[in-house]
């Protein structure tokens, strides 16, 4: 049966997917890289250097490692400026209620975020205490779509992956969940989330009672 829910942060709990997207678009414009919505969708959920690599696939210029590090830091500066004033008002509608309903149902709550800014963002949103275990990108080697981050969260919670359900807004995250052997819930109505087991329009539609399990431990 279901014993834990592991949430992604950016675009699921916090209204920050747009801030990441805007920061990448700003950098792309400055270095002359064409940026469209499909690239934006592919960058979601992917860690900082991985995202930069996807962006630079479209560049004519060969950047050195030092230049790439500087570009990634520049993007992070733009991102941090956009989230500087964020607080509890920047939780996505229904996000806190979704986490609390899962807690009340007796489930463990984890966070699996590719963002190195995740711990600071949780503090600003005022929700650090709602999580039993948090994994951010600085604690793992392989980024989403690799399953490592969700498996690390399950292990930290002490729950088998098959008893975990994950909530994601990105294709890379859904792929990571599936590879981890977890139930994958997609939030947002993108074609990119077609591989999710369950698709919800937003986290506001997340109701833990939907996922009640029967006596065989199957989702009901």
Pairing mode, if any, of strands 183-187 and 198-200?
Answer: parallel
For residue 75, give every residue at least 6 positions away whose Cβ sits within 8 Å of its Cβ, in sequence order, or none.
Answer: 23, 24, 26, 27, 48, 51, 52
Q: How far is the CB of 3 from Mg ion (least distance, A)?
A: 23
Which is closer to ligand BG6, CB of 118 or CB of 208?
118
Given the rule CB under 6 A, which residues bind ligand BG6?
9-10, 17, 20, 43-48, 51, 76, 113-117, 137, 170
Q: Which residues bind Mg ion (CB under 5 A)?
A: 8, 10-11, 45, 169-170
129 phi and psi angles, rounded to 5 deg: -70, -15
Whole-number Å distance between alpha carbons of 215 and 211: 13
Residue 114, binding choice from Mg ion, ligand BG6, none, Cβ under 5 to 8 Å by partner class: ligand BG6
Residue listed under structure tokens 């699921």: 12
168 is in an annotated binding site: yes
| Shortest distance, position 16 Cβ to ligand BG6, whole Å | 8
State which residue, 51 or 183, has the beta carbon closest to ligand BG6.
Answer: 51
Q: Which is nearer to Mg ion, 28 or 92 (CB)?
A: 92
Active-site residue (options: 10, 15, 21, 136): 10
**CA end-to-end span of the chain:** 10
The alpha helices in the chain, defined as continuous H runs, are 17-30, 37-43, 48-56, 65-83, 95-104, 118-125, 148-157, 171-180
Least distance in angstroms from the C-beta of 62 to ligand BG6: 22
214 marked among binding-site residues = no
User: At its nearest, how many Å lie between Mg ion and the CB of residue 135?
Assistant: 14
Residue 24 annotated in ligand binding: yes
Contact 121, 8 (CB under 8 A): no
My answer on whether omega of the bond before 145 falls inside 30° of 0, hence cis, is yes
Distance CA 162, CA 120 (A): 30
What does 43 interact with, of Mg ion, ligand BG6, none (CB < 5 to 8 A by kind)?
ligand BG6
> Any catalytic annotation for residue 8?
yes
Which residues are the active-site residues? 8, 10
Q: Which residues are annotated as a binding site for substrate?
A: 8-10, 24, 43-48, 51, 75, 113-117, 144
């Amino acid at each position: 049966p279901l014993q834990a829910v592991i949430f992604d942060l950016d675009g699921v709990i916090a209204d920050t997917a747009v801030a990441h997207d805007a920061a990448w678009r700003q950098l792309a414009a400055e270095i002359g890289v064409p940026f469209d919505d499909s690239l934006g969708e592919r960058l979601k959920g992917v860690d900082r250097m991985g995202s930069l690599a996807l962006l630079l696939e479209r560049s004519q210029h060969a950047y050195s490692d030092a230049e790439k590090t500087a570009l990634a830091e520049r993007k992070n500066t733009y991102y941090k400026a956009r989230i500087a004033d964020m607080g509890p008002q920047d939780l996505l509608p229904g996000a806190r209620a979704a986490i609390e309903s899962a807690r009340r149902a007796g489930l463990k709550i984890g966070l699996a975020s590719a963002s190195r800014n995740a711990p600071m963002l949780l503090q600003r949103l005022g929700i650090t205490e709602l999580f039993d275990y948090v994994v951010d990108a600085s604690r793992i080697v392989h980024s989403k779509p690799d399953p490592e981050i969700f498996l690390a969260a399950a292990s930290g919670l002490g729950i088998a992956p098959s008893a975990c359900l994950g909530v994601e807004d990105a294709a890379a995250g859904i792929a990571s969940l599936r590879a981890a052997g977890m139930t994958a819930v997609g939030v947002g109505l993108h074609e990119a989330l077609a591989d999710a087991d369950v698709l919800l329009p937003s986290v506001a539609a997340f109701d833990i009672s939907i996922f009640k399990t029967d006596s065989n431990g199957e989702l009901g």
